[in-house]
A and B are shown apart, each in its own frame.
Chain A
């Protein structure tokens, strides 16, 4: 009887602890840990729980909901998170010069190669992928079901399509930083090939991101013949500048000049920041502009164009200067502005925000899991968001001297 009781208690404890021990890394930093300790622990959590074959997941839901491994969650923005991790690792390599840190940059590049390979169409990138041969329950929970595809080029994988202009920026930005900071000869060749196929396909389709159904994706419009937002003009100019720089192909420079001379994309780019109405003054546009500025400044030598890009950057800074740093991504902006313009706008308030950066959390929630018979069952599980921007902010700040290693 005693043995049976022990068995029942043991089983109960095992069941209770199942969702907790299913994760690879479980240690979270304390808010009063030094910044460098917090960053190292967040990084361990990201690498342990969010790494999906080189691509970083924005959000993971753990078993019993997240099938056999903790890699299932909303996946629309994985490229943003992957891009932030690529930048973080590139700047970390710039600081440490350790080969293992450089290898982690190569690992992300290999993940990006897979994001193209899984679609089976050169130049078409997935938003994300999962190693599974059947649809996962969350495909219909988080985004439009129609955008998930079974891979024919990588059997046993499913991938999410409908790439947006946002992810277009993320891909160009991360390849650009990798190329400049961490790539060896082989890496440069791979990165140049990726951007050539990716941006080349957009140019070939009259500056549209065209999906596998031959239609422009829901957000993939840089086309001069279609109405488009000023931010998209800035984004395509940045991408063409990067593609030209990395491939050396004149077609990208010619496309860049054509959009400027014939369609005035440089003038449109000045207005990339929507300052009013307030509801459209949004941080996600700021992040995209920031990554685009990064690709243009330092590589554009024409003073007239640089003046216009600086005007656009200043319109952004007008808004950023009032930031309360309520979102972690905002902390990056003054550092970028300072590096690009040489005018230090990193204030005491910014430093305080940097020192206090906290981001990741794990929660227990109930998820509506669709069962095999089509019914929906509420299942309790833990999920975890990511710390990619925090880690990127940290290593960017370390590399450019805004952050002291002892903090």
Chain B
């Protein structure tokens, strides 16, 4: 009898704590998802040298867009933005400077590299937003596909779509080595901005959450470079 009472009491406390915690989760802005603060597994030891070492990183809590910013959305900010007539629902392909300006204009910001990677792969170090297996039907591999038009429509652990393939996504950070990485590169420094998520038509390995690409912030060189925005959680 004593055991049952303690069990029920424990259960009550746990459920109460969970309920309290749930009530603390702030409501995301429209079109955004909430990512809690905490540690996650970042980087990889089997990809390019710049992805290593696989390490534990942490972020604060933040909101991040569920989808990439579309051509239609970007056009409202920049009336000179052009795109193919049938691609209203495709990611806006822009430079880092343009992406950054857009985000600021609506009170948001670009995610940091850590935030992007955490939003994409969760905390368990998975290769892709949905897990570790791969199929062409999971990703935006074909350029004719718009936002969330994949066959399988997978989402990340926090509810983000299209974080693999489609357009690469700009993040805030300069392209620099991770702590503990001693492989030299003349590309490091305040020269290039990091892009994540891989682009349509490239090898599947580039669509891994840990993959890093780099480009100048003011010239996308014909690469498919889009973005999504993040926002601080105000309490």
Contacts and interface: CB of A to CB of B under 8 A. Distances in A.
Contacts of B183: 214
A145 B220 CA distance: 9
Interface in A214-247: 214-216, 218-221, 223, 225-229, 232
A146 interface: yes
Given A140-B222, A145-B221, A215-B50, A228 B151 contact: no
A218 B202 contact: yes
Interface residues of A, number: 25
Contact of B221 (A144, A165, A228): A144
B46 to A, nearest CB: 4
Interface stretch (B65-73, B101-109, B204-212): B204-212
B187 interface: yes
Nearest to B47: A226
Given A214-B183, A214-B185, A221 B221 contact: no
B134 interface: yes
A277 to B, nearest CB: 7
Contacts of B46: 223, 225-226
A407 interface: no
Interface string B53-86: 0000000000000000000000000000000000
A75 to B, nearest CB: 14
B153 to A, nearest CB: 14
Contact of A227 (B141, B204, B219, B221): B204
B223 interface: yes
A161 to B, nearest CB: 13
B197 to A, nearest CB: 13
A228 B204 contact: yes
Contacts of B48: 214-216
A232 to B, nearest CB: 8
Interface residues of B, number: 30
Nearest to B127: A227
Contacts of B218: none
Contacts of A274: 136
Nearest to A147: B221
- Label chain B's interface by main secondary structure: loop
A227 B208 contact: yes
A285 B14 CA distance: 55
A215 B47 CA distance: 9
Given A223-B46, A277-B137, A218 B206 contact: yes
B195 interface: no
Contact of B222 (A144, A215, A279): A144
A143 interface: yes
A213 interface: yes
Given A219-B202, A227-B134, A227-B208, A213 B187 contact: yes
B185 A213 contact: yes
Contact of A215 (B49, B132, B144, B204): B49
B126 to A, nearest CB: 11
B142 interface: yes
Contacts of B204: 221, 227-229
Nearest to A146: B221
B205 A216 contact: yes
A226 B202 CA distance: 14
A215 B133 CA distance: 23
B215 interface: yes
Given A216-B203, A220-B203, 6 more contacts: A213-B185, A221-B205, A223-B46, A228-B203, A274-B136, A280-B136
29 contacts: A144-B222, A144-B223, A146-B215, A146-B221, A165-B203, A214-B48, A215-B48, A215-B49, A215-B50, A216-B203, A216-B205, A218-B203, A219-B203, A221-B205, A225-B46, A226-B46, A226-B47, A227-B127, A227-B128, A227-B204, A227-B208, A228-B203, A228-B204, A229-B204, A232-B203, A274-B136, A279-B142, A280-B141, A280-B142
